[in-house]
Chains A and B, each alone.
Chain A
């Protein structure tokens, strides 16, 4: 645990806010993209680091959000007006509902745990990918093209956010907002119960907590955030395809979070940003060897540094209410 974790956290966000001063449009677009992956990583870090639920199918919710956004703004869902706001709303609500229901179905009673949950969520993502490939209304294998950009404003004054700069600020506000929200949640009583379940579910049950409902609620929050990341992704690329629902992305996000550190939100966020930007730089020079290096780095991180490479430096001090217990910080 570093004594400078708070300063580092503030410094990181300040640097992000100031980055338009130094970066041109192209790199701002790139940074927005990295932050979208960062938001996605936050959603997984919350459920995995705090809740102890190893979700191998997080891309399911990312893809659901992306498709919800794409279908709404392209006016392909009858009865729902094609606006940015309804699109974002649906992209958050739909994955949240799916995740919540899936969570309840899997956790209630003699629920699934550990590796079983991982394999089931992985299968769910594979099923969703297959469905999307074979559902021609939502574009089938080719996906959906020409997703309109974000549209802000009211009534007669409306404008579309084509430029990288305003879009960058939208993503930045989303990232910072979600980070603060999850941090608040993590440090609330809810987060404490969640960690209690993670560390010993039987004990939490005996203390009178409905662990299944807590886990399902956390899963729903995580799904909603992954969905929002997916929606922003769809807008930025103006394109969605079944691949973002499936296996490949689901495991990629696991790698980012594991390398960064699952128990510390900012570490997971930076893990995504760092791995992706290193990939952008190195995939040219290393070529085919990049994935080999990444795979081995991931193994090393899991085996030797299960807390992640960045988490030890960014672990924030415990909230005051929890410090009195005298327990050591996890």
Chain B
């Protein structure tokens, strides 16, 4: 019984962590049609912001907010310098963002060194529940993932800004004709997606060793989640993270993490092949 609860909690924790990383990715990929391979580095920048700011004894909530803003600004600059020139060249977005990812990662190595840093969790007391004890910070991360996802959906589907953004995505010319400044929307959307990646990195930082390679480990599972879930709607991220994260945790508990990763990645490829639109996608080509 305890074992089941523990596996269940671990699975939920992994799924929600993945969701946290995916939500920014799916906004940029699904809504802007930009394959952002630098997403892992935005995540990384968020984590390093935490390491840097914790030296000044700021409250953790403020640090998270600053991490979001800092990475959103980085995203804004990158959008203005690079991405806006290649919106119409879908494949080139992969290459350009890969170059950005390489440069950002190396910049972090130049500034902070290649070694790993430690971010301190603001609280870490284990909590007893359902007959087991579980790290309270992990529970906090899970709660934050749900909160951030809910907030993102609220902004996208219940506010005027979100409506405008979805309008631009659905029909750019029509939105422009109705007086929407589409450039401004592009900028905001990209910055928002980047900021979410930074926030995810900041929240995850105390749970991981903060080193320049930390973003890469999330990149492949996150992209597979987005593709499996489908890019047509941000809802796909929920499905994708659930499927990839859930199956990964369960297989890892039964066999080993390595088997889990190999098996889940392979199955994800098959799923993407059979349903290129993702499990939430419409049947269209």
Contacts and interface: CB of A to CB of B under 8 A. Distances in A.
B60 interface: no
A130 B86 contact: no
A299 B220 contact: no
Interface in B97-115: 98-107, 109-110
Interface string B255-282: 0001001100110110011001000000
Contacts, number: 105
B96 interface: yes
B156 to A, nearest CB: 22
B200 interface: no
Interface string A93-113: 000000000000110001010
A110 B272 CA distance: 11
Describe B's contact surface by its main secondary structure: helix
A247 B216 CA distance: 10
A251 B97 CA distance: 12
Interface in A283-313: 288-289, 291-292, 294-299, 302-303, 306
Interface stretch (A21-29, A114-122, A233-241): A114-122
A120 B269 CA distance: 6
A303 B92 contact: yes
B19 interface: no
A209 B262 CA distance: 35
A127 B266 contact: yes
Interface in B105-141: 105-107, 109-110
A291 B85 CA distance: 23
B224 interface: yes
A197 to B, nearest CB: 15
Contacts of A106: 273
A130 B94 contact: no
State which size class the interface on A falls in: 35 or more
Describe A's contact surface by its main secondary structure: helix
Contacts of A126: 220, 265
Interface residues of B, number: 40
B52 interface: no
Nearest to A294: B102
A131 B262 contact: yes
Contacts of A122: 220, 223
Contacts of A291: 102-103, 105-106, 109
A295 B92 contact: no
B155 interface: no
Given A119-B223, A298-B102, A292 B265 contact: no
A130 B89 CA distance: 32
A134 interface: yes
The 9 A-B residue pairs with the shortest CB-CB distance, nearest first, are A295-B103, A295-B102, A298-B99, A299-B99, A291-B106, A292-B106, A302-B95, A302-B96, A115-B35
20 contacts: A114-B90, A114-B91, A115-B94, A118-B94, A120-B273, A122-B220, A123-B265, A123-B268, A123-B269, A288-B110, A289-B110, A291-B105, A291-B106, A292-B103, A292-B107, A295-B100, A298-B98, A299-B96, A303-B86, A306-B89
Interface of B: 35, 82, 85-86, 89-96, 98-107, 109-110, 216, 220, 223-224, 227, 258, 261-262, 265-266, 268-269, 272-273, 276, 285
Given A115-B91, A126-B265, 15 more contacts: A54-B94, A54-B95, A56-B94, A112-B273, A112-B276, A115-B90, A116-B272, A118-B35, A119-B227, A123-B265, A123-B268, A126-B220, A288-B106, A292-B107, A302-B99
